Structures are given as structure tokens and as C-alpha cells.
Chains A and B, each alone.
Chain A
Amino acid sequence: MDLDAPHSMGTTIIGVTYNGGVVLGADSRTSTGMYVANRASDKITQLTDNVYLCRSGSAADSQIVSDYVRHFLHQHTIQLGQPSTVKVAANLIRLFSYNNKDMLQTGLIVGGWDKYEGGKIYGVPLGGTILDLPFTIGGSGSSYLYGFFDQAWKEGMTQSEAEQLVVKAVSLAIARDGASGGVVRTVTINSDGVTRKFYPGDELPLWHEELEAHDSLLDILSSASPEPMVS
């Protein structure tokens, strides 16, 4: 067990826009090499009242970038006299990611709502490219979701459709990506504000080769009708 391995968030992160706002989703596993250092991490961090950030890659790098940007966005909000736009937040993230590209290893998704453009999602992958997208996925678990989203995504979903899509997607990625796991957290941002939701690992849908969970074998045996042990 390599406890000196850098803490990295294997991760699955997702950001989708819907008709009226955005839904951000993430898993909750942080690993140090093969050990799960934190099985309930919160990878969706707040930048301002109306803009949140999904973090993937190096835990340290993504935390420090979000701390800096939160600080400067706070100053910016004071100077501006009104909530910052999602675009400004995303561009600050981009500035850090781009100008320190040799040292940082973090892929980020910025999502939020402002009165000018409504719900917006920006992807800022490794290297510091900024892309304005209707939805985006990131982290190691996202590899397993490209096909899923190609098929399942559609423009103009309702809030509950979008939330269900995100939860389903993160749980599919958790099923196949060893670096993703734990619970599914979602953050929904719209004109009414921000809502955080929590889906514990044992309440997620079951996929291929996954079985219903039980407290003990003994429960299974006692509930099943008695069968002759010898035929």
C-alpha cells in the first residue's frame, strides 16, 4: 500500500444543462494508490452562491485552484456589486489551469446559473482549454460514459430528467471504474437557488452481475422455503 502516492480523485464528474438550469454530479471516492483514502468526499465545491465546480484528477491541485478562484471571485463580486457570471468564474479557472499547465493535473467542470445566460456548463480539461458545452463529463470514470451519453442525452430536458440522467450515469461509471465509487452527489442550480442531493451507494440501481445487498446469508436462508439438502 503506497501511502505516499499522491491523493488522486479517480472520479467520475458530470455537468449537464437543462431547461432552466444545470445539474452537476460526481462520485465520492478519493484514492491514494490502491487505498481508498476517503469514501465520502465531496467533489462538487462551491465557488460562489450561484457557481459550483466539479473537481477531478489531483485532489491537491483541484483544491488549491478552487480556493484561489473562490477568493478572487469573492473580491470580484464585491467590486461588481452583483453575483458573478458563470463565464467569469470559468475563465478564472481557465487562467489558472492554462498558465500553470506544466504543474497542474486537474480536469474541471464549472457549472452555474446567472441572470444573463441562465444555466451554463463550461469544461476546462487538462491543458486549460475552455469549452462552452450543453453537457460534459470528466474524470477516469467518464471513459465508460461517452457511449451512454451519445445515446441518452437530449436537449431541453426537465430538471428531474436531468437529475435522473446524471445519477444513472455516475452509477454506471462507478460500476466499471475502480477509481470511482461511494455515493452519488448532485448539485442543481437554477434561478431559485442551489439544491444538494445525496444518493447513498446502496440505493443506486443495480447493473450487470450486481446483486441485491443483504445483511447476512442467514437472512437469505431463513426467508427461502426449506429445501431438501439431499435430492
Chain B
Amino acid sequence: MATNLVDSTPAMNNLLGSESDSQRTLYDFCTSHYVESIYERTIRFDPWYPYVTGTSVVGIKYKDGILLAADMGGSYGSTLRYKGVERLKPVGKHSIIGASGEISDFQEIMRFLDELILSDNMWDDGNSLGPKEVHNYLTRVMYNRRNKFNPLWNSLVLGGVKNGQKYLGTVSMIGVHYEDNHVTTGFGNHLARPILRDEWHENLTFEEGVKLLEKCMRVLLYRDRSAVNKIQILKITEEGVGTFPPYSLKTYWNFSAFQNPTVGAEGSW
């Protein structure tokens, strides 16, 4: 008889609010409730539309390690809205990452990586994640999000050196990943890769590497509308990460062909 009484009052409990309400913490409120159904995901608008974006990243292997270059622009559609965004960051002791695409998603990826490196350190076993492992982790993250139709809207470059082995790889927003001696994202694929295919060689010195990257970045500055003239370069060697202050590249406009391009063909451009 007692059990029947209990059964007759479940409706009342819900009116006062579910038990979980009182337990709800700040963190629960701030994180999204994961939508598992693809149908639910597609009826909401614009999960795939990026807002603040970064453009190309260029990365090369050189004699002592890896060099990464990217500009510091955060575009908002066609507006060059933010001009001091760091898109190259160190990851742990052995890697550096560069990202193009939605900046908020890159900031989230950096939080994931911080957690990853932290839990790796907590083992306190003298071992630390190398670039190949970090690249693999990123690949899994990107691919799994793609499968849930909720991608992180980024193309990533991951480079590093561990135990003398140089590593340079890339992951796209749909999880396509590979490694190579030189990798680029975005416009870099079209404008920088042909230059790198032609001029990259094994055992570039630091100076040669930087000049090669600058050649690529200058072309991108001329030809990519979302490029901004403030470059950041990061290097990684067995010794660790090297950061350099942001700087601007000189551009060249003083060609005779540029002075009067429409002479003889008025109205053309």
C-alpha cells in the first residue's frame, strides 16, 4: 500500500522543478547541451558560418627544425577588423600550432590542447607528447566534430621536433590530414605551395628558411584580400620554441608597367 502512495505523487515533483536544477552549477549553464541528432543540428541556423577568421598559415621544415609564418589579421567578412591576432602558438615543449579559419574555434582548440598537455604533465613520468601525437589528437578532434555535423571551422598546421626528428603536418576542418616538408592553409595552398615546391630543399638554414617564408607571405599580401601586413614567425628546434616580434614586409609598386597600365587601351584595367 505504501508504494502506491509514492507512485501517485511523481507529477507533483516535476512542478517544483527537476532535482538537477538545484545542482546546476555555473559550468553546466555555460556549456552547451550537446545536440546528438543531426536533424536538430540542421534546423538551427548557421552552425557552419564563420565570423572572425584568419587567413593562410605557411610552414616549412628547415635544418634545425620547423618554421611557421602567419599574418596577424582577424577578418570579419570583408572587413579587416582585428590586426593583432596571434594565430601561431606553442603547444607543450615540442610543438607549435598555426590556425586559419574561425578564431573562436581556434581559441577553443587551444583550451583542449592545454588540457591535453596538462594531463600529460600530470603523469610526471618524464615523457612528453611529441608533435606526431599532438597532430594525431587534433585529427581525431576535427574528424569527430565533422562526423557530428558541427565542425571546428579551422585548418591547422602542427610542427615540432622531438629526439632530433622533425615533424610537420596539417589537419583540415573535415579531418583531412597529412604530413610533408612544407604545408600551407587557405590561399597559401594556391599561392605559396608552387613557390615552396620550386625552392624548398633539405637542410635550409634559418636565414634561407625565413627568406623563403617571407617570399610566400609577400605574394599572399599582394594577392589575398584578407591578408594584413603584420607577420608573425615562430620557430621550433630541439632546444625549444623561438618567438619573434611582429613585423611588416616591404612591398614593391614601382614598375613602369604599373605607372600607366591603360595607355593604348583606355577603359581597361
Asked if B74 and A131 make an inter-chain contact with CB atoms under 8 angstroms apart, the answer reads: yes
> Which chain B residues border A164 with CB–CB below 8 Å?
none
Asked if B31 and A126 make an inter-chain contact with CB atoms under 8 angstroms apart, the answer reads: no
Interface size class of A (residues with CB under 8 A): 20 to 34
Contact digits for A86-126, partner B, Cβ 8 Å, 1 yes 0 no: 00000010111111111100000000000000000001011
Asked if B32 and A129 make an inter-chain contact with CB atoms under 8 angstroms apart, the answer reads: no
Asked if B32 and A130 make an inter-chain contact with CB atoms under 8 angstroms apart, the answer reads: no
CB closest chain-B residue, reference A92? B30
> Which chain B residues border A97 with CB–CB below 8 Å?
104
Asked if A131 and B85 make an inter-chain contact with CB atoms under 8 angstroms apart, the answer reads: yes
Is residue A198 contacting chain B, with contact meaning CB distance below 8 A? no
Asked if B44 and A129 make an inter-chain contact with CB atoms under 8 angstroms apart, the answer reads: no
Is residue A168 contacting chain B, with contact meaning CB distance below 8 A? no
Once bound together, how far apart are the Cα atoms of A101 and B45, in whole Å?
Answer: 10
> Which chain A residues border B239 with CB–CB below 8 Å?
none
Interface size class of B (residues with CB under 8 A): 20 to 34
CB closest chain-B residue, reference A132? B84
* Smallest beta-carbon distance B86→chain A, Å: 10
Is residue B208 contacting chain A, with contact meaning CB distance below 8 A? no
Q: With A99-B31, A129-B51, A131-B82 as given contacts, are A75 and B107 in contact (CB-CB < 8 Å)?
A: no
Asked if A101 and B47 make an inter-chain contact with CB atoms under 8 angstroms apart, the answer reads: yes
Asked if B52 and A103 make an inter-chain contact with CB atoms under 8 angstroms apart, the answer reads: no
Is residue B119 contacting chain A, with contact meaning CB distance below 8 A? no
Besides A96-B30, A123-B82, A127-B103, 10 more A-B contacts (Cβ < 8 Å) are A72-B29, A75-B26, A95-B30, A99-B30, A125-B52, A127-B51, A127-B104, A130-B107, A131-B74, A131-B85
**28 A-B residue contacts at CB 8 Å?**
A68-B29, A72-B26, A72-B29, A75-B26, A94-B104, A95-B30, A96-B30, A98-B104, A98-B107, A99-B30, A99-B31, A101-B47, A101-B104, A102-B44, A102-B46, A103-B44, A125-B52, A125-B81, A126-B52, A127-B50, A127-B104, A128-B104, A129-B74, A129-B104, A130-B104, A131-B74, A131-B85, A143-B79
